[in-house]
């Protein structure tokens, strides 16, 4: 019952209703203006249409103008989305070429732990920098601690994943050896070591 009510609300949303009204207005006005006079006579509309032709024409103009504005809005939205995506890609590319040790180690942690989501401190400069560069996305789930400070869940954005290969993150080719793994663990920023230890204790 509740689902039916929600579906009814969606079905009769103002935008959908306006679209349908304008569609019917355009079709009906176009047909009335284009239909031959002998068919109008058969439908008993041969007097109505000539007498109200200006209203029919006005209705057709209004409906066409409505659809043209909708098409223009769609084009503008796509242009804005394209420019926004392009700016994000440029920001990611520039940042990937200038990653510092802490930022690179932080991104490497997703691969070392084999995790798509990590809980990270929000106030860390590396986290803020990667978030501002659109490489990290905040998923919420914020927690506030008196000593550690606020944390939240983060993931690597879809647009950034194609730029983060083993060469960029300075990961060894193939499965890392024990010595390589120890070196990567030692290169972790201090705040990541603390989070990993806390996670082990919690487990």
> What tens digit of pLDDT does each residue of 101-158 get?
889 889 988 888 888 998 888 888 999 999 999 999 999 888 877 566 788 999 999 9
**Residue 161 maps to a domain:** yes
Annotate the chain with three-state secondary structure.
Answer: CHHHHHHHHHHCCHHHHHHHHHHHHHHHHHHHHHCCHHHHHHCCCCCHHHHCHHHHHHHHHHHHHHHHHHHHHHHHHHHHHHHHHHHHHHHHHHHHCCCCHHHHHHHHHHHHCCCCCEEEECCCHHHHHHHHCCCEEEEEEEECCCCCCCEEEEEECHHHHCCCCHHHHCCCCCCCCHHHHHHHHHCCCHHHHHHHHHHHHHC
Q: Are residues 73 and 119 in the same domain?
A: no
Q: Are residues 154 and 127 in the same domain?
A: yes
Q: Which two tokens stand for residue 185?
A: 């663990």
Q: What is the tally of structural domains in the chain?
A: 2
pLDDT of amino acid 200? 46
CB 57 within 8 A of CB 125: no
**Residue 85 maps to a domain:** yes
Distance CA 68, CA 170 (A): 52
How many other CB atoms sit within 10 Å of the CB of residue 187?
14
Q: Are residues 42 and 116 in the same domain?
A: no
Q: Are residues 132 and 145 in the same domain?
A: yes
The pLDDT of residue 198 is above 60: no
Q: Are residues 33 and 117 in the same domain?
A: no
Q: Which segment of 61-75, 89-103, 139-153 scores lowest on mean pLDDT?
A: 139-153
Within a 13 Å sphere around the CA of 54, how many CA atoms are in the beta-carbon half?
Answer: 1
Give the percent of the chain with pLDDT over 90.
Answer: 28
Look at 145 and 90; give whichever has higher pLDDT: 90
**Token pair 């990993």: residue:** 196
Of the three residues 96, 117, 152, the one that is the final residue of a domain is 96
The pLDDT of residue 165 is above 60: yes
The pLDDT of residue 20 is above 50: yes
pLDDT of amino acid 203? 43
Classify 154 in phi/psi space as left (phi over 0), alpha (psi -120 to 50) or beta.
beta
Question: What mean pLDDT do residues 19-30 have?
Answer: 87
Confidence of residue 160 (pLDDT cuts 50, 70, 90): very high
What is the model's pTM? 0.64
- Look up the domain containing 67 and give its range: 15-96
The pLDDT of residue 199 is above 80: no
Distance CA 19, CA 10 (A): 13
The pLDDT of residue 13 is above 80: no
Average pLDDT, the chain: 82
Q: Are residues 119 and 83 in the same domain?
A: no
Of the three residues 78, 96, 114, the one that is the final residue of a domain is 96
Look at 108 and 196; give whichever has higher pLDDT: 108
The pLDDT of residue 201 is above 50: no
Question: What mean pLDDT do residues 88-112 have?
Answer: 89
């Amino acid at each position: 019952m509740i689902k039916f009510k929600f579906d009814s609300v969606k079905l009769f949303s103002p935008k959908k209703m306006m679209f349908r009204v304008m569609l019917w207005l355009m079709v009906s006005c176009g047909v009335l203006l284009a239909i031959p006079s002998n068919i109008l006579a058969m439908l008993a509309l041969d007097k109505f249409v000539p007498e109200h032709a200006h209203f029919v024409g006005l209705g057709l103009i209004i409906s066409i103008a409505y659809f043209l504005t909708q098409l223009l809005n769609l084009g503008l939205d796509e242009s804005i989305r394209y420019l926004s995506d392009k700016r994000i890609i440029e920001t990611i590319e520039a940042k990937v070429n200038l990653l510092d040790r802490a930022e690179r180690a932080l991104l490497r942690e997703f691969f070392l732990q084999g995790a798509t989501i990590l809980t990270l401190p929000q106030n860390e400069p590396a986290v803020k920098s990667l978030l501002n560069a659109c490489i990290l996305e905040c998923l919420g789930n914020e927690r506030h601690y008196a000593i550690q400070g606020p944390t939240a869940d983060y993931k690597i954005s879809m647009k950034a994943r194609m730029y983060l290969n083993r060469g960029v993150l300075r990961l060894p080719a193939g499965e890392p050896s024990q010595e390589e793994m120890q070196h990567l663990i030692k290169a972790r920023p201090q705040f990541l070591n603390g989070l990993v230890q806390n996670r082990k204790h919690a487990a």
